[in-house]
Amino acid sequence: MNLLGQNRRSGWQTALLSALILFPVAIRHLFFWGGALAPILHLAEALGFFAWLSLILLRPRITSLRESIGLLAVMVLVPAFLSEDLGIYIIRGRELAVHFTNPYAHPPEDLATQDPLMALAKGWGKNPNPYGPIALLLAAGAAWLSNLVSALLPKGANSSLLALLPGALLFKAALMGTLIQAGRLLERHGGTALMLAFLLNPFVLTEALLSGHNDALLVLPLLATVLALRKDAFFQASLLLWMGVLIKFTPLALLPLLFAAALRKKRLGPTLWGNLVGVLLFGLCWLVFWRETGLAFLTQQAEIEGASLQHLLGLILGLPVDLIFRRIFMGIGVLYALFEARRVFRGEAFAWAAARTMAFVVGLGLSFPNLWYAFWWIPFLLLAPPTGTLSAEKEEEEAKRLLPLRVLGVLGPLSYVVYLSTRTLGPVHQWTQWAMGIFIPSVCVLLPGCVQPRGPRPSK
């Protein structure tokens, strides 16, 4: 703790220390993929990552949202080095903003002869954009501005990775803005401790700002949905949930829970109107983007196989994770959502049920889940209501409620160990990340004795 300082400047000190540790690691990932220096760089990368993780776990003396902005801002400046997704967002946004091509209908390889940057999509060059229109439009805006900046670069640099870096920086800045706004909501409705538990969580910092995953954008509309439901504002809650759908399609799984809450509160009318507006927005996107392709782009993404419970069971039973197997798990996911909807109708808090539903989808339902999908359930866990009647009980439940987030904060970054040593997203890394960062935290959310409320105890 002495290393981090004990004054109000500690937030910036932590940010600068993080940058010193992370920036060489990022440069190694982006520009020194192999060569004679690879063994030394591998070692430096692993040591740097664990040093950063240890630094964050020390819980620096950041005591407010304002003090945490220094850490977030400097991490935005560190190039994303744990994932290529951020660059692929900008490439797909470039399709729309620069070439006026529909990324849902045309994967990057379709434009490879016109634009050398499309080759940077690598293994994802054959896949159309699988994300919602809001995420795509944000990427398109960042790509358009990046294209303006790249025009100022020396001749010949436009076809290099440098032409994407301004857009990547802008996209990460948007993610930082999302986290700050989410922090303000949490501070206002849950207190400073809860806000810092989220913003300083190593998983959140890693996946939102070091990898730049657009799943972090979901935090804001999902938090706002829960807050709207607290005020029985079902029209706003329905519309906000559809805003989440237009970022990534998975919040559709929560519609049964929303309608169950509306029926319980006798607020079905506003809920129907809110969903009608949401469906109209979805229909507008259909006319603009999906009229020719339908949802084939989403089906193609869903058919990707990797480390998952489905794959594990398939290996044990000697069965392929084929279309039938995926449909079985999809059906189980729908049944589970209906089960949680029934609990909501009978009085369960929407936030608790939503956290469990999304954790079920991530940990058990998908054929290829990813670590950053935890952003689907984190917002609901943060705003799940306390049930204890005494202060000691509330403190105990608060600690219990945040246990999955703490587990994720440790196991999520640690699940990159194999990736850091092998520098490949091979089967060993996928299974390590699934077991440590996906399955265990998801089960932690689902276990009744872990976070599920048991109702207030009678006062003595």
Report pLDDT digits (tens) over 314-373.
888 877 767 677 788 888 999 999 999 999 999 999 999 999 999 999 999 888 899 999
Mean pLDDT of the chain: 84
Query: What letter would DSSP give residue 102?
Result: -
Report pLDDT digits (tens) over 117-137.
888 887 788 889 999 999 999
Tokens 């760089």 sit at which residue?
41
CA distance 345 to 340: 9
Sign of torsion over alpha carbons 379, 52, 29, 31: positive
Q: Which long-range contacts (CB under 8 A, 24 or more apart) does 393-398 make?
A: 393/456, 393/457, 397/453
Q: Which is higher by pLDDT, 457 or 326?
A: 326
pLDDT at position 457 over 60:
no
State the number of CA atoms in the 13 A half-sphere of 337 facing the CB.
20
Tokens of 21: 């540790």
Which of 50-54, 193-197, 255-259, 330-334 has the weakest average pLDDT? 50-54
Q: How confident is the model at residue 70 (pLDDT cuts 50, 70, 90)?
A: confident
CA distances from 286 to 233, 295, 391 (A): 27, 9, 50
Residue 107 phi, psi (nearest 5): -70, 165
Closest listed residue to residue 136, CA positions, set 169, 87, 89, 100: 89
What is the number of other CB atoms lying within 10 angstroms of the CB of residue 87? 24
In terms of average pLDDT, the best of 5-14, 68-77, 412-421 is 68-77
Q: Mention every residue, 6+ apart, whose C-beta is less than 8 A from residue 204.
A: 179, 198, 216, 378, 409
Which of 293-302, 344-353, 391-400 has the weakest average pLDDT? 391-400
Domain limits, the chain: 10-77, 85-163, 213-446
Report pLDDT digits (tens) over 215-229.
999 999 999 999 999
| Angle, alpha carbons 20-378-22 (nearest 5°) | 10
pLDDT at 4: 37
Report pLDDT digits (tens) over 278-289.
999 999 999 999
Predicted TM-score of the model (pTM)? 0.88
Q: Where do runs of H (alpha helix) occur along 200-349? A: 202-204, 219-230, 234-245, 255-265, 268-285, 296-302, 309-317, 323-345
